[in-house]
Amino acid sequence: MASKRWDIFCRVIDNHGDVGVCWRLCRDLVRRGQWARLWLDDARALSWMAPHCPSGLEVHPWPDSDWFPSGGPGEVVIEAFGCELPECVKRQLPGASTHWFNLEYLSAEPYVERSHGLPSPVGFGPAQGMTKIFWYPGFTTKTGGLLRELDLLEQQRRHQNAAFWRRLGVPLTPSQPLISLFCYPHAPVDWLIGQLQISTAGAPVTVLVCGNTVAPTQVPSHVTVRRLPWLSQEDYDALLWSCDLNVVRGEDSLVRAIWANKPFLWHIYRQDDGAHDAKLEAFMRLWPGGAVTEAWRTLWRGWNGLIPLDTLGPVALSPWATPWHRVLREQLLGQKDLCTQLMEAVQG
Ligand SMILES: Cc1cn([C@H]2C[C@H](O)[C@@H](COP(=O)(O)OP(=O)(O)O[C@H]3O[C@@H](C)[C@H](O)[C@@H](O)[C@H]3O)O2)c(=O)[nH]c1=O
């Protein structure tokens, strides 16, 4: 496809998912020969998430109300997660840009298929006459898809665990399970560590505490807890490939946990109106049936506070290799990734 100029706008709400998704998208676009500019109101997280900027990709501060570079916006403009475009950009859209997308949050709920691709014609204001398209990432062929680099499987094949752990300074103990832990502060982390003791019958386990995750306080002697610094996004992805069980949070890490091909536990972003409940259930409906899968659903509900933990009884987290995550991954690998779909949408 011919090279186009893409402008992606993102305002950081909290945490790192918004920047994480936009950076990933930009990176993927430039790897496919596109030009991308990422406009951020808070770029601090990029210092660890993205220490290297690939050529073809520029990061800029959020444009102020009356300044935008000469040349105007690119052919494709993406406002991420409903962030309102700056006035100066809106004014220049007609005539400059042929495509305008609002990239939405990821969900497996049914509204995603209904809403993906819906046009919103702008009837007044500086961008009058333009049409904004709602782009919903998702888990079915009727949605905008998931971010997945074209060479992801090749990268995973080439990945060398031992060298990776050496670089991270994590000592390896043969056959000792490794667990990555990335979750919100309200997660019942001590409970999880207690369950590990049951699952492994007291055999040694290493828990790698990621980012700003609160470390467990009640640590039995067979559990080693190590804190990792914020890693680059590429290293974080590789961490998920290298662990035996991944605990992830938010949406970007969820997708990466799926691609990692390892069992995982999702700590969903909690919403005040309780909307996360339906979102979690919708995601778990993607899984295949069976008793083991059902046990994992119960575990996920407990971990996310949807059912009381004391009704769960001991939870067997092992064997680590439960089949449901593999089935899901295989199914999703057969679908077109988000970047391919977006590029096809703007072709011509
Ligand atoms: C732990 C870690 C994460 N990361 C990256 C992976 C992801 O791109 C990003 C984390 O984003 P998420 O997984 O989505 O979790 P998050 O909790 O940080 O982001 C959240 O932000 C809220 C505003 C959204 O509404 C939520 O839905 C969610 O996206 O950080 C690293 O690059 N290095 C690290 O060491």
Tell how far the Cα of 17 is from the centroid of ligand 1, in angstroms.
4
First to last CA, the chain: 9
CA–CA distance, 121 with 46 (Å, rounded to integer): 34
264 lines ligand 1 (CB under 6 A): no
Residue among 5, 11, 6 at smallest CA distance from 61: 11
pLDDT tens digits, 137-160: 999 999 999 999 999 999 999 999
DSSP conformation class of 156:
H
* pLDDT class of 322 with cuts at 50, 70, 90: low
User: Does the pLDDT value for residue 319 go beyond 60?
Assistant: no
**Does the CA dihedral 323-245-206-236 come out positive or negative?**
positive
* pLDDT class of 76 with cuts at 50, 70, 90: very high
**Strand pairing category for 119-121 and 131-135:** antiparallel
Ligand 1 atom nearest to CA at 20 = 8
CA–CA distance, 225 with 222 (Å, rounded to integer): 10
pLDDT tens digits, 15-36: 999 999 999 999 999 999 999 9
User: Does the pLDDT value for residue 320 go beyond 70?
Assistant: no
* pLDDT class of 194 with cuts at 50, 70, 90: confident
**Does the CA dihedral 50-52-58-62 come out positive or negative?**
positive
pLDDT tens digits, 247-268: 999 999 999 999 999 999 999 9
* pLDDT class of 302 with cuts at 50, 70, 90: very high
Q: Locate tokens 């500086």: which residue?
A: 126
Ligand 1 atom nearest to CA at 19 = 8
Share of the chain above pLDDT 90, in %: 74
Average of per-residue pLDDT across 268-274: 88
Based on the residue annotation, tell me whether 237 is a catalytic residue of this protein: no
Q: Which is higher by pLDDT, 77 or 221? A: 77
Pocket test for ligand 1, best of 14, 15, 230, 254 (most atoms within 8 A of CB): 15
Average of per-residue pLDDT across 263-286: 93
CA–CA distance, 148 with 153 (Å, rounded to integer): 9
Quote the pLDDT of residue 318: 53
Based on the residue annotation, tell me whether 42 is a catalytic residue of this protein: no
Ligand 1 atom nearest to CA at 49 = 32
**91 close to 125: Cβ distance less than 8 angstroms:** no
**336 close to 141: Cβ distance less than 8 angstroms:** yes
Quote the pLDDT of residue 272: 83
Highest mean pLDDT among 59-68, 81-90, 111-120, 124-133: 111-120
The radius of gyration computed from the CA coordinates of the chain, to the nearest angstrom, equals: 21
Tokens read off for 84: 């309102």
252 lines ligand 1 (CB under 6 A): yes
| Cβ count within 10 A of residue 125 | 10
81 lines ligand 1 (CB under 6 A): no
Quick one: 185 exposed, middle or buried, by C-beta within 10 A (0-12, 13-18, 19+)? exposed
CA torsion, ordered 254, 269, 200, 311, to nearest 10 deg: -130
Residue 45: what are its φ and ψ, rounded to 5°?
-65, -20
Q: Which is higher by pLDDT, 275 or 348? A: 275
Mean pLDDT over each residue of the chain, to the nearest integer: 92
